[in-house]
Amino acid sequence: MGRSSTHQHDVLIIGGGGAGLRAAIAIAQENPDLSVACVSKVYPMRSHTVAAEGGAAAVIKPNDSFENHIYDTVSGSDWLGDQDAIELFVKEAPKELIQLEHWGCPWNREADGSVSVRPFGGMGTERTWFASDKTGFHMLHSLFQTTLKYDNITRYDEHFASKLLVDDGRCCGCAAIELRTGQMRAILGKAIIMCTGGAGRVFPFTTNGAIKNGDGMSMAYREGVALKDMEFIQYHPTGLPGTGILITEASRGEGGILVNKHGYRYLQDYDLGQPLDIHDPEHPRKRTMELGPRDKLSQVFIKEMQKGNTIDSKYGPVVHLDLRHLGEAKINKNLPFVRELAKNYAGIDPVYEPIPVRPVLHYFMGGIDTDLDGATSLRGLYAAGECACVSINGANRLGSNSLTELLVFGARAGASAARFAMDNPDFNVASLEAQAEDESKRIRRDYIETGTTPGTSSGDGGSERIATLRNEMHEAMEGGTGIFRDEKSLTDTCQKIAELRDRFKIVRIDDHTNSFNTDLTAALELGFMLDVAEAIAHSALERKESRGSHQRLDFTNRDDENYLKHSLAFWQDDDAPPRIEYKPVTITKWPPGKRTYGKGSGLTKQENETT
Amino acid sequence: MTGKYHRPHKWNWFLSKPAYMLFMIRELTAVFIGAYLILLLIMLAKLGGGEAMFSEWLVVLRSPLWMGLHFIALVASLWHSITWFNLTPRAMPFFIGEKRLADPLVATAMGYGPWLVISLVILWGVLR
Amino acid sequence: MPDEKTITLEIFRYHPESDAGPRFQSYDVPYNEDWVVLDAINWIKDTVDGTLTYRWSCRMGVCGSCGMMINDEPKLSCAVFLKEYYPNPIKVEPLVNFPVERDLVIDMDGFMEKLQSIKPYIIRDDVNDTSQGEYKQSPAELAHYKQYTMCINCMLCYSACPVVGSEPDFLGPAALALGHRYNKDSRDQGFDQRMEKMMEHEAVWGCTFVGECSVVCPKNVDPAGAIQQAKASAAQEYFKGFIMPRGAGK
Ligand SMILES: Cc1cc2nc3c(=O)[nH]c(=O)nc-3n(C[C@H](O)[C@H](O)[C@H](O)COP(=O)(O)OP(=O)(O)OC[C@H]3O[C@@H](n4cnc5c(N)ncnc54)[C@H](O)[C@@H]3O)c2cc1C
Ligand code: SF4
Ligand code: FES
């Protein structure tokens, strides 16, 4: 950990995933005079947007309408999404995906040269744009390669942001460790955009890559910004057992079916509509059966398990995702990555055998509380992408809305941050540098030099291993904040996380050198994750209802009277749990209704309400 | 601080992997093709020097040494041609609509086919 | 657990702050037939040696972080299984043909510069507004370049390429394939600009078609094929240049 150096820019983006890169281009394009910095702990093309498979939703075809996409998203969110945000999102979505097309994204095409769309879970019309089943990969690379065109974007690759720098109530930068040298840098901006992605690694069994540790959520939270709706966590119904690698929903959009150990399409028993024959031209019918929303499909899995209808595997109970009837040609054309993943990581060729799957932790609906422009309650700090919560996803995100979200709100946050930067050019560099210096000293003292925090119970050099604490956190989160929750499980988890936060103070790392110290970054990431875990558990404990992905066994109904509102978790201090507050949900034209997926399959709002 | 470590690049890198060896052999076979071209030039020169000179040259060529060299050159040029023909589809892909033609098909159309035809024509010219 | 099966990993270690040269360190790891090599390395980091340094993220063969030399072959460590080697030991080293930063982490600055140098983005004279809708592109036009979009920048091909080894300035397989990808995209009009770079000595003509890049490529990109096609384009440009000096045509 060397002495800090200072770097000044107009706008600083923390995170080089889809959201961060989209924001960077938005600024670079609109304001070529502004200098944009993009800090990322991995090279941008390694960001986890790369792993997204299925596609990105936007209304483009004549059989579709904004109204339909809005309604699907609002009902998908179990009415917890803010309707002004959703309306804006849906209307800007096509423009953003076309923009990406102009930047080279190789979207699949129809014979007439227009882009192809596919059906997706919870969507009443096919509107998911896709680049075979590597959509996120192609989007991320298109975005990254496009940033290479702009001279005014400076990248700080493999720089690990550890703390926001805040002076006089305004966020003006971050302290970041240059991994190669271990040097601390004060990277300053007149406006900051947080784009650090989700936090799936808080859980043991997840589709998320190693870098998704909630870093940005925790950094903002520690500066007093609320984490909103953290109790809403999405389980994706089809992960590979063992690894948690995702088998995309697109495999069901293309017609794949889910069956239990009797070969029975069990979804029909749970109010998700009646199955059509797999060879019926109408199959798969939108908003029914396999194309129901993720929260419901994952919950149904647990119920099937309790009935003893799941299949036992080396990695616990599974059901089968059967794609065989699609045939080799279709699988190769539209789902080649699914085939590759199933073959490599499950030893199964989906052309000939069904794929064993089980629910897997996938996505955070919650995150840093922002407004429609990505602005947070901290002046100068913006957020976009999975780390942010606007909220369009409410209690359950629809598949393929989040890739679009990171474009729409990445671009908006970029534009607003640029405006803020131009309007507020001056800040106190000396004070920020001093903070970065302090951060550097803190890290030296707590991790590099002794591995212990003075004044804590251990005092003799630290004793807790990162992996031990992480494993215990995983166990607590899976046990307490899984698909079904109750008072007891949540209370236990809250207590356990508090204990782990305490023990974390005496974490000891093995690596006491500077260059590329990934032991240090793993420790910092564990600290971030514990913050996020605590916010999740407490938000979940306080929400005494069941809505979307938050299902309480002790409060099984949705309670609009008391809980049609966003939870806000506020950081208190190192030893106290978060304070939970609430704020209203914005309802404009779509009053809360019943979420139906069976009978009213693929129908519009009006039809749905009458069935 | 001792900085980054640069691993040495060995001069005999091609010994480290059979695939590299095969590449080297393919490159070396070009030498034989070149040599044979020179031989053809000499042949033309001899032909220009009159019939006697040419027949004398033909006798020399019938010696076991020359026959052996011819044989080696033949094997080398076959090796060279076949490896290149097999590579052509990758350098010149052909599409029908969105389907890329299978490599063996392109190799035949671009390499083996014309080769066979030209060889037959020459053979026909010689035997006629 | 005395009779638990184990497998040995011999791992290349180098620390820039203290080591003059590399050394190998041997670790015994519990053998699990479902584990990839990366799982074993993570096990070491978590339980016995937190100082071991390497890159990884997605563990599903798509982020391109985890390339390593595994028994002398460049591989994605998240896509190669212990069972392919068991019971023999596995030698793990950083990708060759790159400077080593620390342990299994290589310096990829040069690679990033090469990527940028070929202008890997759509270049157009007439940019449509998004309100005009998408640029039309037929499935056949898409098929012409799609294969070359699949590159995950894992750099295994650079480790397999002897030209990269002997001429570090050679643009190399992935960068050239990426240039070719944009040249072949029906939406792009930047061929001339891109070719200026791709026709330089250290670019397409540096390639001798060893072909190993395509053999090791985990995503079937066939960079070697792309480079030969780019050579054909370069040759055409070269001859066109004789008839009509560059730029005169416009
Ligand atoms: C397997 C999988 C499949 C998915 N499929 C789909 C799909 O088909 N459709 C869909 O709409 N959504 C999908 N999603 C969700 C979607 O991909 C993500 O929500 C989205 O990509 C998140 O993008 P992001 O830009 O917010 O974050 P990321 O892409 O995760 O990027 C985060 C960035 O922040 C940086 N960063 C993080 N912490 C720090 C730090 N401390 N210092 C510096 N930099 C830091 C990282 O380096 C990285 O560059 C999928 C998700 C997964 C996991
Ligand atoms: S061409 Fe293949 S081997 Fe080379 S970087 Fe790309 S994916 Fe990796
Ligand atoms: S960890 Fe992403 S490719 Fe291996």
**Which residues of A are marked as active site?**
236, 252
Residue C73 forms beta bridges with which residues?
Answer: C70
Residues of chain B numbered 90-119 and touching chain C (CB < 8 Å): 90-93, 95, 97-100
Q: Nearest chain C Cα to A241, which residue?
A: C34
Question: Which ligand 3 atom is at minimum distance from the Cα of A46?
Answer: 2
Domain ranges, residue B107: 15-127
Closest Cα to residue A267, out of A228, A321, A213, A347?
A321
CB contact under 8 A, C51 and A111: no
pLDDT at C3: 63
Read off the amino acid at residue A288: T
CA C213 – ligand 2 centroid, Å: 8
Instruction: Report helix, strand or coil for A238.
Output: strand
Closest Cα to residue A158, out of A192, A183, A189?
A183
Taking the C-alpha atoms of residue A380 and residue A375, their distance in angstroms, rounded to an integer, is: 8
List pLDDT tens digits, range A475-502.
Answer: 999 999 999 999 999 999 999 999 999 9
Instruction: Assess contact for A69 and A128: CB atoms under 8 A.
Output: no
pLDDT at A599: 61
Instruction: Report helix, strand or coil for A409.
Output: helix
pLDDT at A459: 43
For tokens 């390639």, name the residue: C207
Strands of C6-13's sheet in order across: C23-30, C6-13, C90-93, C67-70, C73-76
B17-32: average pLDDT: 92
Residue B97 lies inside a defined structural domain of this protein? yes
Report, at the CATH architecture level, how domain A2-232+365-433 is classified.
3-Layer(bba) Sandwich (3.50)
Residues C41 and C89 in one domain: yes
Closest Cα to residue A272, out of A253, A256, A296?
A296
Q: How far is CA C234 from the centre of its chain?
A: 23
Nearest CB among C107, C166, C222 relative to B90 is that of: C222
pLDDT at A457: 42
Q: How far is CA C147 from the centre of its chain?
A: 14
pLDDT at A604: 43
pLDDT at C119: 98
Instruction: Report helix, strand or coil for C118.
Output: coil
Atom 2 of ligand 2, residue of closest alpha carbon: C217
Whether A2-232+365-433 shares its CATH topology with A436-566 is answered no
Residue B19 lies inside a defined structural domain of this protein? yes
Q: Ligand 1, residues A46, A160, A196: which to mutate, most atoms within 8 A of Cβ?
A: A196
Nearest CB among B5, B93, B100 relative to C100 is that of: B5
Average pLDDT of the residues of chain C: 94
- Report whether residue C61 contacts ligand 3, using a CB cutoff of 6 Å: yes
List pLDDT tens digits, range A401-451.
Answer: 999 999 999 999 999 999 999 999 999 999 999 999 999 999 999 898 864
DSSP letter, residue A375: B
C80-87: average pLDDT: 96
Residues C114 and C236 in one domain: yes
Q: Which of C78, C106, C134 is the last residue of a domain?
A: C106
Cβ neighbours of C51 in A, within 8 Å: 510-511, 513, 519
Taking the C-alpha atoms of residue A194 and residue C226, their distance in angstroms, rounded to an integer, is: 38
Domain A237-360 has CATH 3.90.700.10: yes
| Domain at C22, CATH number | 3.10.20.30
pLDDT at B52: 87
| Domain at B84, CATH number | 1.20.1300.10
pLDDT at B14: 92
C94-102: average pLDDT: 97
Residue B50 lies inside a defined structural domain of this protein? yes
pLDDT at A4: 76
- Report whether residue C65 contacts ligand 3, using a CB cutoff of 6 Å: yes
Residues C69 and C140 in one domain: no
Domain ranges, residue C86: 6-106
Residues C168 and C220 in one domain: yes
pLDDT at B2: 64
Instruction: Assess contact for A18 and A140: CB atoms under 8 A.
Output: yes
Instruction: Assess contact for A515 and A501: CB atoms under 8 A.
Output: no
Instruction: Assess contact for A576 and A588: CB atoms under 8 A.
Output: no
**Higher-confidence position of B8 and A65:** A65
Average pLDDT of the residues of chain A: 94
Taking the C-alpha atoms of residue A228 and residue A568, their distance in angstroms, rounded to an integer, is: 5
Residue B101 lies inside a defined structural domain of this protein? yes
**Higher-confidence position of A87 and B1:** A87
Residue C190 lies inside a defined structural domain of this protein? yes
Residue C223 lies inside a defined structural domain of this protein? yes
Residue B8 lies inside a defined structural domain of this protein? no
Residue B9 lies inside a defined structural domain of this protein? no
Residues C138 and C231 in one domain: yes
Residue C164 lies inside a defined structural domain of this protein? yes
Q: Which of C49, C78, C106 is the last residue of a domain?
A: C106
Residue A388 forms beta bridges with which residues?
Answer: A368
Residues of chain C numbered 197-226 and touching chain A (CB < 8 Å): none
Residue B37 lies inside a defined structural domain of this protein? yes
CA–CA min distance B31, chain C (Å): 15
CB contact under 8 A, C121 and A103: yes
List pLDDT tens digits, range C109-156.
Answer: 999 999 999 999 999 999 999 999 999 999 999 999 999 999 999 999
Q: Indicate the number of domains in chain B.
A: 1
Residue B2 lies inside a defined structural domain of this protein? no
The structure's pTM equals 0.95
Residues C78 and C120 in one domain: no
Q: Which stretches of chain A drop beneath a pLDDT of 50?
A: 451-460, 600-611
Chains within contact range of chain C (3+ C-beta pairs < 8 Å): A, B
For tokens 């990105």, name the residue: A56
Instruction: Report helix, strand or coil for C39.
Output: helix
State the pLDDT confidence band at C107, using cuts at 50, 70 and 90: very high
Residues C114 and C125 in one domain: yes
Say whether the peptide bond before residue A284 is cis (omega within 30 degrees of 0): yes
| Domain at C200, CATH number | 1.10.1060.10
CA A206 – ligand 3 centroid, Å: 15
Taking the C-alpha atoms of residue B101 and residue B94, their distance in angstroms, rounded to an integer, is: 6
CA C85 – ligand 1 centroid, Å: 34
A487-492, Cβ contacts within 8 angstroms, sequence gap of 24 or more: A487/A541, A487/A552, A487/A554, A490/A537, A490/A540, A490/A541, A491/A541
Q: Indicate the number of domains in chain C.
A: 2
List pLDDT tens digits, range B60-115.
Answer: 888 999 889 889 989 998 999 899 899 889 998 999 988 999 988 998 888 899 99
Fold classification of A436-566 is Methane Monooxygenase Hydroxylase; Chain G, domain 1 (1.20.58)
List pLDDT tens digits, range A322-341.
Answer: 999 999 999 999 999 999 99
Taking the C-alpha atoms of residue A596 and residue B115, their distance in angstroms, rounded to an integer, is: 68
Residue C247 lies inside a defined structural domain of this protein? no
Helices (H) and strands (E) in chain B, counts: 5, 2
Residue C146 lies inside a defined structural domain of this protein? yes
For tokens 């807790």, name the residue: A464
CA A341 – ligand 3 centroid, Å: 12
What is the residue extent of each domain of chain A?
Answer: 2-232+365-433, 237-360, 436-566
